[in-house]
Amino acid sequence: MSIRRRLLVWLLAAVLAGGLTAAGVVFFQARAEANDLFDYQLRQLALTLRDRTFIPSEFAEALKGEDALDFAIQVWGADGTKLYESHRSLRVPGAVQLGFTTQDSASGRWRIFAIQQRGLTIQVAQPVVVRDRLAVEAALRTLLPFLVALPLMGLLIWRLVGQEMKVLESTASAVARRTPESLEPIATRSVPAEIQPLVLALNGLLGRLGAALSRQRQFIADAAHELRTPLTALKLQLQLAERARDVAEREKAHAMLGEGIARAVRLVEQLLALARLDPDAPAKRDAIDLASLALAVVQVHNARAVEAGLALEADAGEPVPVRGDHAALETLVDNLVDNALRYTRAGRVLVRVRSVGHGAILEVEDTGPGIAPAERQRVFDRFYRGESAPTGGTGLGLAIVKRIAERHGASVELGDGVGGTGLRAVVRFP
Amino acid sequence: MRLLLVEDDAMIGSAAQQGLRQEGHAVDWVRDGREAEAAVANGVYDLLLLDLGLPRKDGLSVLRSLRAKGVQVPVLIITARDAVSDRVAGLDAGADDYLVKPFDLDELAARVRAVMRRHSGRTAATLRVGGLEIDTAARQVRWKGRDVALSAREYALLEALADRPGAFLTRARLEERLYGWDEEIASNAVEVHVHALRRKLDPAIIRNVRGMGYSLVQDA
C-alpha cells in the first residue's frame, strides 16, 4: 500500500474515531444533564400536583391538554383505587415505592417519581427513551461537523501528501540521472528533513562508488600506458630478429626477444596480482606460520641466487603465527626477495622472521645499492621505477607489497641495510 | 646521419639503436633528460629521437629548453602518451613529428627520413644530382639509370654529400655523421668509403680539396 493511501486511511480513521469519541462523551454528558433536568421537572410536577385539590373531575380538567406532555401522571386514593391516569393507553407501571425509581415495563423503561399526600399517591412518570433521544440528538449534532469534514480532509490529505511525494519523485529522477560518468551528489536543499538521511546515505554511496570507479579507471589507464613499453620493446626486438642476416645476429635478437617476453609476462602477472588486491574486499584471516611461508619462498629463489652468485639466507627457526591470506603473503615475501635479488650485484640477501609480542616482523635485507631516503616513499607508487632501476622491473612490486601489507594491517618501511649499505625492508604485523 | 636517441627503457633503447644503425644511421643513446641536454650541446646531431617519460628531466621540458636556447635540431617524439592533447603539447613545444609506442622500426625509419627531408626543404623522397638519383625511402641509388649497390656507410656518406651538392663537408663532420660514440672509427674510414663510391659510381663524382673536405660534383 502506498504511503499516500496508508496516511489517508489512518488519518481519516483517526478523525472518525475522534468524532465518535466526542459524540460518545457528549451523549453521556447530555443524558446526565437531561436526567438531572427531567428529574427536577418530574419532582416539580409532582409537587405542583400535590398542592392541588384533588377532585377527580377538576383534576382531570386541570390536566387537560397535557396529553402532549411526555409525562404520564397517575393518582391513587388512600384505598388504592386509581383516581386519575393521564395516558391510559401507555400502561405506565404502577407505583412501587416513593421517590425516584427506574422501572421496566412492557411499554419500555420509565423514570418515575412518586409522593404521598393526604392519602393520595401521586406518580409522575416519563419514558427514559425521551431522555436518550435528547442525548443522541446532542451527540449527533457533535458528530455532524466531523462527518462533513471527513471527505474534505480526505481530499486535503490526498493532495498534500501527493505534493510532498513529488519531492521523492524528483529525488528518484535525480538518482536515475546518475551514471558511472556523473556521480555528483544529489542536492539536499529542497529535500524534506525526513528524506534527507536517505539522500545523504545515497550521496555517501555515490561518493564511494565514484572513488572506486576512478581508482579502477586510473589503474586501467596506467596499465594500458605501462603495457606499451614492453610491447614496443617486443615489436622492435621481433623486427630485429626478422632482419637478422646471420645466425649469430639472429641468436642475439632471439635472446633479446626472450627477455622482452619474460618482462611482458611478469608485468601482466603483477598487474593481475594488483587488480586482485581490491582494497575494498575483506582480507582472509587464516592462521599462517609466516616463518615456514618465508622459508618456502626462499627455497623457490635459491637456484636463481646461486646462479647470480648471491647468498640467499633465511633466519626463521621458530614458528611465527600471523593471521591473513596465505597466497597474498607469499606474493609479498616473493616480491621483496625478488627485488633484493634483482638489485643486488654481490653479497647476500637475508630474510628474517620473528615474533614480537602478539605481532610479527618480517625483514628482507640486501647488500645492493639501497634506495636514497628521498625516494623511499615514492618507490611504493604504482609504476614508479627508481633512477637506478635495472631493466625487467615492472614498477609494481613494492606497490603490491604495500597493498598486501595494508590489507593485513601491517606497515612497510624501507631503511638502510647493515652497516648503512643496501636496503632493509621491514614489514610489521600487528 | 647522426641521431641522438633519448629513451629510458633499456630494451626499447637498444633495439631502436640497433634497428636505426641497420638503416645506416650513427645512433647515440642516452637514458635521461639531463644527459640528452648535455649530448645535444655538442651540436653534432642531425635529429633527436625523444621519449617524453624520462628520469631527471622529462622530454617536454628538454624540448622546450632546447627551443628556448634556439637549438634548431629536428626532434621526433617517441612516446607511449597517445592522447591528442599530449601530441598537441609535443608539437607545440617544438617537435617536428610525433610517434606513438608501440611503433614499427620501418615506420620509425620512414619518419626519420621524412623529418630530415622537410628540414632540408626537400619534399620528394628522391634526391637528384646530375646523373645521380637517390631514393631515400628505399635507400636505393641509381647512377645514370643503373642500380648501384652500396653499403650502409657508403650510402650514408653519399646522402650526406648529396644533401647539399657542391658544399664541402670536412672529414671530421662526415665521421660525426657516420659514427656514434661507441663505434670504432678507423683513421682512414672516410677515405675508404669515398674510394668505394668513386669506384662504384664515377671517379670524378666526389671532389676532395685539402683543408676544405669533400663535396659532390653536380655535373659529373
CB-CB under 8 Å, A236 with B15: yes
Determine the 3-state secondary structure of B141 from DSSP.
Answer: strand
The shortest C-alpha distance from A187 to chain B (Å) reads 34
Residue A285, number of CB atoms within 10 A of its CB: 11
Express each pLDDT in A232-282 by its tens digit. 999 999 999 998 888 988 898 899 899 889 888 888 888 888 887 766 666
Of A228, A263, A391, the CB nearest to B101: A228
Q: Is the pLDDT of residue A66 over 60?
A: no
Q: Label residues B78-96 b or e (16+ Cβ within 10 Å = b).
A: bbbbeeeebbebbeebbbb
The mean pLDDT value for A128-134 works out to: 87
Residue pair A348/A417 in contact (Cβ under 8 Å)? The answer is no
CB-CB under 8 Å, A229 with B80: yes
CB-CB under 8 Å, B11 with A231: no
CB-CB under 8 Å, A230 with B11: yes
Q: Is the pLDDT of residue A214 over 60?
A: yes
Of B56, B80, B104, the CB nearest to A239: B104
Phi/psi at B150 (nearest 5 deg)? -120, 155
Integer Cα distance of A140 and B102 in angstroms: 93
What's chain A's average pLDDT? 84
Residue B210, number of CB atoms within 10 A of its CB: 5
CB-CB under 8 Å, A232 with B12: yes
Please, which pLDDT band fits residue A349 given cuts at 50, 70 and 90?
very high
The mean pLDDT value for B104-124 works out to: 85
Integer Cα distance of A67 and B34 in angstroms: 130
Whether the CB of A393 is below 8 Å from some CB of chain B: the reply is no
CB-CB under 8 Å, B106 with A236: no
Whether the CB of A107 is below 8 Å from some CB of chain B: the reply is no
Q: Is the pLDDT of residue B29 over 90?
A: yes
Question: Can you give the pLDDT at residue B51?
Answer: 92
CB-CB under 8 Å, A225 with B11: no
Burial class (CB in 10 A: 0-12, 13-18, 19+), A402: buried
C-alpha cell of residue B4: 641522438
* Residue numbers in A near B11 (CB within 8 A): 230, 233, 236-237, 256, 259-260, 263, 391
Count each helix (H run) and each strand (E run) in chain A, helices first. Answer: 8, 12
Please, which pLDDT band fits residue A298 given cuts at 50, 70 and 90?
very high
Whether the CB of A424 is below 8 Å from some CB of chain B: the reply is no
Q: Quick one: angle between helices A290-307 and A326-343, nearest 10?
A: 30
Integer Cα distance of B163 and B118 in angstroms: 12
* Residue numbers in B near A230 (CB within 8 A): 11
The residues that bridge with A412 in the sheet, in sequence order, are A427
Residue pair A57/A108 in contact (Cβ under 8 Å)? The answer is no
Residue A196, number of CB atoms within 10 A of its CB: 12
Q: pTM for the whole thing?
A: 0.59
Residue pair A410/A428 in contact (Cβ under 8 Å)? The answer is yes
Residue of A nearest to B18 (CA): A240
User: Is this complex's ipTM strictly greater than 0.85?
Assistant: no
Determine the 3-state secondary structure of B57 from DSSP.
Answer: coil
B53 secondary structure, DSSP code: S
Beta strand A120-127 with A311-315: parallel, antiparallel or unpaired? unpaired
Residue pair A72/A124 in contact (Cβ under 8 Å)? The answer is yes
Question: Can you give the pLDDT at residue A42?
Answer: 86
Question: Can you give the pLDDT at residue A167?
Answer: 81
Integer Cα distance of A226 and A267 in angstroms: 9
A296 or A86: which leads in pLDDT = A296
Q: How many CB pairs (< 8 A) connect A and B?
A: 60
The mean pLDDT value for B7-34 works out to: 89
Integer Cα distance of B5 and B181 in angstroms: 12
Express each pLDDT in A383-429 by its tens digit. 777 666 665 567 788 888 988 888 888 999 998 887 778 899 999 99
CB-CB under 8 Å, A228 with B15: no
Torsion sign across C-alpha atoms B99, B102, B104, B109: positive
Integer Cα distance of A248 and A254 in angstroms: 10
Phi/psi at A111 (nearest 5 deg)? -105, 130
CB-CB under 8 Å, B102 with A228: yes
Amino acid identity at A65: G
CB-CB under 8 Å, B19 with A243: yes
The closest alpha carbon to A290, from A352, A366, A365, belongs to: A352
The closest alpha carbon to A338, from A290, A287, A400, belongs to: A400
The shortest C-alpha distance from B146 to chain A (Å) reads 26
The closest alpha carbon to B23, from B164, B162, B180, belongs to: B180
C-alpha cell of residue B71: 637549438
The closest alpha carbon to A336, from A425, A247, A211, A221, belongs to: A425
CA A72 to chain centre: 72
A94 secondary structure, DSSP code: P
Whether the CB of A228 is below 8 Å from some CB of chain B: the reply is yes
**N-terminal to C-terminal alpha carbon distance within chain B:** 24
What's chain B's average pLDDT? 87
CA distances from A34 to A104, A132, A214, B150 (A): 19, 8, 81, 136
Question: Can you give the pLDDT at residue A107?
Answer: 77
The closest alpha carbon to A306, from A370, A349, A368, belongs to: A349
* Residue numbers in B near A237 (CB within 8 A): 11, 15
Strand order of the sheet with strand B26-30? B26-30, B2-6, B47-50, B75-79, B97-100
Element (H, E) at A383: none
Determine the 3-state secondary structure of A356 from DSSP.
Answer: strand
Beta strand B47-50 with B2-6: parallel, antiparallel or unpaired? parallel
Task: Name the interface residues of B facing A (CB cutoff 8 Å).
Answer: 9-12, 14-16, 18-19, 22, 32, 55-56, 80-81, 101-106
Residue pair A95/A88 in contact (Cβ under 8 Å)? The answer is no
C-alpha cell of residue A258: 626472450
C-alpha cell of residue A109: 423503561
Cis amide prior to B102 (ω within 30 degrees): yes
